Amino acid sequence: MTSSHILFIPGVMMVGMFLGFILGARAARNNYDLQAKRDSEREAARAARAAKKAAESEKTS
């Protein structure tokens, strides 16, 4: 093993950890944004169903 491996191997590992951190943070942020969007869409659908149900019950009364 040459002396360049002493610097090369840890350097490659550090670059890999840095890229993994960046890509992992981006994936986590995208997942969080997607979940927030789904939650807001579900809440809007629930509100629409509740309004429709209230309007139907008002007609029958």
pLDDT in tens, 24-56: 999 999 999 999 999 999 999 999 999 999 888
Q: How many angstroms separate the CA atoms of 6 and 21, rounded? A: 23
pLDDT at 61: 63
57 against 25, higher pLDDT: 25
Helices (H) and strands (E) counted in the chain, each on its own, are 1, 0
Alpha carbons within 13 angstroms on the beta-carbon side of residue 15 total 6
Per-residue confidence at 3, pLDDT binned at 50, 70, 90?
A: confident
How much is the pTM? 0.66
